[in-house]
């Protein structure tokens, strides 16, 4: 996979918004993973994902399917190679998936795409050196919402012949899990506000059947309220008897809580350590 350039411009942009995080992988020296880009998981142009695998072949590694954010209206997988690199360099198989965006489609079609990507991950886990019983969903911001809905609302995976109980767990980073009424214009379009149904919210689908959960966020996130989102969902899951870990980090914001996964910014917060511990990979 080609490395991106414009490193210092990207680092500066990262500190003010989450759209520029992708160029961070250009700071990683040498080869730390092997993989393929632009693999089709479905028939449409946006049904593509990039595959990141450890350099040494594996047989039963954990597999993490990552969904990026962008208010359901922007983003591309190439911007998030640093996530795949960070996970693959530590021994996990990672998939970074595109999906259709608003206003072309709404939230239901986005979740259908994400479920289709999950089906591909399930079907191809063994050939990638991963184990089906160690498949995790992971997302940041709007992507964390996508992961949450697949993990908590069974209808999306059921349409692909899967069930949330088959997941080893899911990871939400700075996710919006309870955001009605909707004030943001782009979010209104994606969710058809004001005709947005209450069951579009992940908090409405909490039950004791949910897979184990890791919820991370910036303590002072001004983009997505970490207490209404992360803390509230964590409390509801815990009350339902679901194994859940919740952690809020200082010294990061909505963007850098994900950027801290990349090697140059790991000093900001131990986000990668939390993720690796959750998926059962010793930090190398």
What confidence tens digit (pLDDT) does each residue in 2-53 have?
A: 233 233 234 334 433 343 333 333 334 456 899 999 999 999 999 999 999 9
Looking at domain 32-279, which of 3.30.413.10, 3.40.50.11810, 3.40.50.1820, 2.40.10.120 is its CATH number?
3.40.50.1820
CA distances from 44 to 40, 175, 246 (A): 8, 26, 36
Could you tell me the residue ranges of all domains in the chain?
A: 32-279
Amino acid 31: pLDDT: 65
Residue 162 has pLDDT above 60, yes or no: yes
Ramachandran class of 141: left when φ > 0, alpha when ψ lies in -120 to 50, beta otherwise:
left
Per the structure block, which two tokens stand in for 127?
Answer: 């050939």
For the beta carbon of residue 4, count every other beta carbon within 10 angstroms.
Answer: 17
Mean pLDDT on 173-201: 98
Which range, of 31-35, 61-65, 177-181, 217-221, averages the lowest pLDDT?
31-35
Amino acid 244: pLDDT: 98
Mean pLDDT on 235-255: 98
Read off the pLDDT band of 57 (50, 70, 90): confident
Pairwise CA distance, residues 148 & 143, whole Å: 9
Q: Which residue has the tokens 């969904």?
A: 67
């Amino acid at each position: 996979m080609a490395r991106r350039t414009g490193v210092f411009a990207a680092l500066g942009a990262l500190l003010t918004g989450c759209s520029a995080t992708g160029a961070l992988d250009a700071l990683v020296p040498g080869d730390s993973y092997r993989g393929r880009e632009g693999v089709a998981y479905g028939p449409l142009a946006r049904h593509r994902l990039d595959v990141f695998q450890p350099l040494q072949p594996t047989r039963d590694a954990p597999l993490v399917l990552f969904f990026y954010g962008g208010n359901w209206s922007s983003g591309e997988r190439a911007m998030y190679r640093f996530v795949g690199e960070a996970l693959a360099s530590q021994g996990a198989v990672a998939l970074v998936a595109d999906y259709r965006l608003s206003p072309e489609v709404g939230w239901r079609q986005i979740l259908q795409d994400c479920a289709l990507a999950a089906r591909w991950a399930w079907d191809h886990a063994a050939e990638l050196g991963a184990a089906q019983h160690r498949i995790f969903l992971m997302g940041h911001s709007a992507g964390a919402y996508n992961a949450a809905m697949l993990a908590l609302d069974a209808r999306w995976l059921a349409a692909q012949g899967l069930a949330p109980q088959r997941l080893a767990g899911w990871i939400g980073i700075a996710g919006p899990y309870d955001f009605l009424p909707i004030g943001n214009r782009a979010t209104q379009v994606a969710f058809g506000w004001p005709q947005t149904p209450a069951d579009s919210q992940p908090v409405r689908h909490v039950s004791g059947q949910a897979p184990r959960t890791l919820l991370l966020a910036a303590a002072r996130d001004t983009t997505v309220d970490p207490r209404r989102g992360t803390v509230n969902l964590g409390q509801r899951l815990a009350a339902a008897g679901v194994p859940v870990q919740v952690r809020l980090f200082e010294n990061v914001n909505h963007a850098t809580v994900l950027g801290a996964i990349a090697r140059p910014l790991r000093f900001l917060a131990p986000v990668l350590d939390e993720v690796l511990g959750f998926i059962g990979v010793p930090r190398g």
